[in-house]
Amino acid sequence: MSQKRTTPLEAPSIRKHQCTVDIRLEKLGMVPFFWNLDREILQPINNEFSASHFHAGQPIYYEGEKATMLRVVVYGAVKLIRQTEEGKEIMVDMLKPGEYFGNLNELGDDTYSETATAQSDACIMSIGNREFRSLLNMYPSIAVAVLDVTTKKLNSARQQIHHLTTLSVKKRIAHILKELCGKFGEESKVGMLLQLPLSRKDLADLAGTSTETASRVMSRFQQDGLITSGRQWVAITDINALSEVVSSN
Amino acid sequence: MSQKRTTPLEAPSIRKHQCTVDIRLEKLGMVPFFWNLDREILQPINNEFSASHFHAGQPIYYEGEKATMLRVVVYGAVKLIRQTEEGKEIMVDMLKPGEYFGNLNELGDDTYSETATAQSDACIMSIGNREFRSLLNMYPSIAVAVLDVTTKKLNSARQQIHHLTTLSVKKRIAHILKELCGKFGEESKVGMLLQLPLSRKDLADLAGTSTETASRVMSRFQQDGLITSGRQWVAITDINALSEVVSSN
DNA sequence: CGGTCTGTTGAAGGATTTCAACACTCGTGG
DNA sequence: CCACGAGTGTTGAAATCCTTCAACAGACCG
């Protein structure tokens, strides 16, 4: 039985981050939207965006607000949260650099359907919907790239629905751990460490279950040697065994 | 207590449907992708598509097959089905004219993630992924239109996830009935009749529950006068009451 | 008019939630 | 540097929602 230890996560604000124009340009080129674009095209696009810094825990926008901006994570992690009717907060997604959030559509009466908060210190680039739409019309390759990213998100949302309707909690959590491992996993002494603060509540939200059930499942996984975990952190030690959990009996 | 009656659904094959070139052109212009396009542009686009007819129940493609085509429903209804690991079939979506399905992405090693079958007699237009990608690059406005449709689907998928993780079966079914009413509802003597064959199994699949539970919930709704229903058909008689069910205590 | 598919309902069993109490970790301030 | 307190994680037991199994009833098809 593996005992818990103090968090192995890197303190996110240790890495100093400065959004100079050059770094912004470089980051922008790394965003899937803007792959394959020449620097001469990237430059005017860059000018349309404005960058903002957020401290860990700071809100970026609120659910229900008028949705006027499209945003891209440049640095740090962003958490998307929805409210239930009873006012409980449910985490619905965790974003890492390169991912977009906010509102893509031309502004009408749309409002944000979730609250976004900086999970760690973060740098976010923003552009107005209208301005982004002109970019799309001006550079078809951007429109196609955005479509591809959106289609991928749609497919993964559909898979998640399928899992919610057909798999047990145990299998859903195993699958979510695998996904998070691919997205946030980094090699470390304790196995593939998920480089983000991740509580039992967060996992429970993603799996559509209660904190207690998530805790029980995680305890079991730890007993069986599939993971190592402590307060707000999880490391995967046996990803093949996790896969087996998902596809077993 | 309202008694069941024989189906009030229109037999789908009664309306005779002929896909002449002119009708194809007209239908194509009605697809959200191709709104706002001039007839001169529509003509060459039309030539890239080929139309096929399917009889009710006939499969269009199978889950796992190499995904080479993008398709659009011109006439009729299409049912998308996924398999569970144990081989049970789960209906995941019902499409009506104007909606797209199949694969949007450039063909790589992608396979269809669901099986598509014609729910009624149907006319489907198809285009190869590669050809569709050239259209996107050639006409940016199409790319933007496709992006908008996809974004809407994504938002609705996310809402569905939120419901699956936070609402009871009763509320989920009430919400699904409302959605279907907006999509397939037509005025009739028995109330807003959902113009498609819809079994308890179908509803159960959409709500992520069992046929029996769906049946119990529907019986209750019928008792309470919210719906009228029989074998493979449902009519909503009190949509406000359904809304209240979703948002109540 | 019989057979098959779909829908209904009851009862038992199971998975998950909820309530509750306690343990552990981490940051903060003495 | 240590101790405290708040937040987070764990675990047990009772309650609940839902599934599963089973039997039967009603609707549609030929």
The A 7-36 residues near strand C by Cβ under 7 Å are 7
Correct CATH for B167-247 of 3.40.50.2020, 1.10.3720.10, 1.10.10.10, 3.30.1490.150 = 1.10.10.10
Residue B18 has pLDDT above 70, yes or no: no
Inter-chain residue contact A147 with B146, CB threshold 8 Å:
yes
Q: How large is the average pLDDT for residues B47-55?
A: 91
Q: Which residue is nearest to nucleotide D7 (CA to C1')?
A: A231
Residue B36 has pLDDT above 80, yes or no: no
| Region label for B205, one of left (φ > 0), alpha (ψ between -120 and 50) or beta (otherwise) | alpha
Token code pair at residue A245: 């959990």
Q: Residue A130 CA to nucleotide C14 C1', Å?
A: 53
Report the residue of chain B nearest A158, measured CA to CA.
Answer: B157
**Helix/strand/coil for B170:** helix
DSSP A151-169: HHHHHHHHHHHHHHHHS-H
Instruction: Considering chain A, tell me which residue range(s) the CATH 2.60.120.10 domain(s) occupy.
Output: 21-162
Higher pLDDT: A169 or B53? It is A169
Cβ-Cβ contacts under 8 Å between A and B: the total is 104
pLDDT of residue A102: 96
The B 178-207 residues near strand C by Cβ under 7 Å are 199-201
Q: How large is the average pLDDT for residues B36-43?
A: 80
Q: Model confidence over B156-183: pLDDT tens digits? A: 999 999 999 999 999 999 999 999 999 9
Residue B108 has pLDDT above 80, yes or no: no
Instruction: Considering chain B, tell me which residue range(s) the CATH 2.60.120.10 domain(s) occupy.
Output: 21-161
CA-based nearest distance A238→chain B, Å: 22
Higher pLDDT: B244 or B10? It is B244
Helices and strands (DSSP H and E) totals, chain A = 8, 12
pLDDT class for B13, splitting at 50, 70, 90? very low
C-alpha torsion B59→B60→B64→B69, nearest 10? 180
pLDDT of residue A248: 86
pTM: 0.92
pLDDT of residue A17: 52
pLDDT class for B14, splitting at 50, 70, 90? very low
Token code pair at residue B119: 């729910």
Alpha-carbon torsion (B84, B89, B91, B96), positive or negative: positive
pLDDT of residue B208: 97
Instruction: Considering chain B, tell me which residue range(s) the CATH 1.10.10.10 domain(s) occupy.
Output: 167-247
Of B180, B183, B160, whose CA–CA distance to B227 is shortest? Answer: B180
Which chain A residues touch B if contact means CB-CB below 8 Å?
Answer: 82, 84-85, 88, 90, 92, 104-105, 113, 133, 136-141, 143-144, 146-148, 150-151, 153-155, 157-162, 164-166, 205, 207-208, 247
B100-102: strand order across its sheet: B50-54, B122-128, B69-75, B100-102
In chain B, alpha helices (H) = 21-30, 39-48, 129-138, 140-166, 169-184, 200-207, 211-223, 239-247
pLDDT of residue A1: 35
Report the residue of chain B nearest A157, measured CA to CA.
Answer: B157
* Residue B213, nucleotide of least CA–C1' distance: D18
Residue B82 has pLDDT above 60, yes or no: yes
pLDDT of residue A190: 86
Token code pair at residue A122: 């973060």
Q: Which residues of chain B lie closer than 8 angstroms to A133, CB-CB? A: 144
Q: Residue B242 CA to nucleotide C9 C1', Å?
A: 23
Q: Residue B235 CA to nucleotide D22 C1', Å?
A: 30
pLDDT of residue A11: 55
A84 CB less than 7 Å from any atom of strand C: no
Of A21, A28, A22, whose CA–CA distance to A142 is shortest? Answer: A28
pLDDT class for B21, splitting at 50, 70, 90? low
Per the CB < 8 A criterion, the answer to whether A182 and A229 are in contact is no
| Architecture in CATH of B21-161 | Sandwich (2.60)
Inter-chain residue contact A161 with B157, CB threshold 8 Å:
yes
Low pLDDT (below 50) residues in chain A:
1-3, 12-16
Task: Classify domain A21-162 by CATH number.
Answer: 2.60.120.10
Q: Which residues of chain A lie closer than 8 angstroms to B92, CB-CB? A: 158, 161-162
pLDDT of residue A19: 61
* Residue B209, nucleotide of least CA–C1' distance: D18
Residue B5 has pLDDT above 70, yes or no: no
Considering chain B, what is the average pLDDT of its residues? 89
The single-letter code of the amino acid at A94 is M
